[in-house]
Amino acid sequence: MFGLGASWGGYESLITVADIKARISAADRPWNPVLRLHIGLEDVEALIEDLKHAFAAAT
């Protein structure tokens, strides 16, 4: 259900990798990528299930 990309004020749910390099020091950066979620107007339970499936597939 999530599209890839940054939000420009739309109503769709989107996900992208956050660029935090410029915001925190190298010592404080997490090892794994930080995901940025923009939650749109879709059904909340459907979005949660979509994220559960995606994270399960990624591990």
Instruction: Give the pair of three-digit tokens for residue 36.
Output: 């940025």
The predicted pLDDT at position 14 comes to 93
- Tell me: pLDDT of 49 over 90: yes
| Residue bearing tokens 């940054």 | 6
Q: Which domain holds residue 47?
A: 3-58
Contact 33, 44 (CB under 8 A): no
Backbone angles phi, psi at 2, to 5 degrees: -85, 130
Instruction: Give the pair of three-digit tokens for residue 1.
Output: 């259900």
Q: Report how many domains make up the chain.
A: 1
- How many percent of the chain have pLDDT more than 70? 83
The predicted pLDDT at position 9 comes to 80
CB atoms within 10 A of CB 36: 14
Backbone angles phi, psi at 50, to 5 degrees: -60, -45
Instruction: Give the pair of three-digit tokens for residue 42.
Output: 């879709």
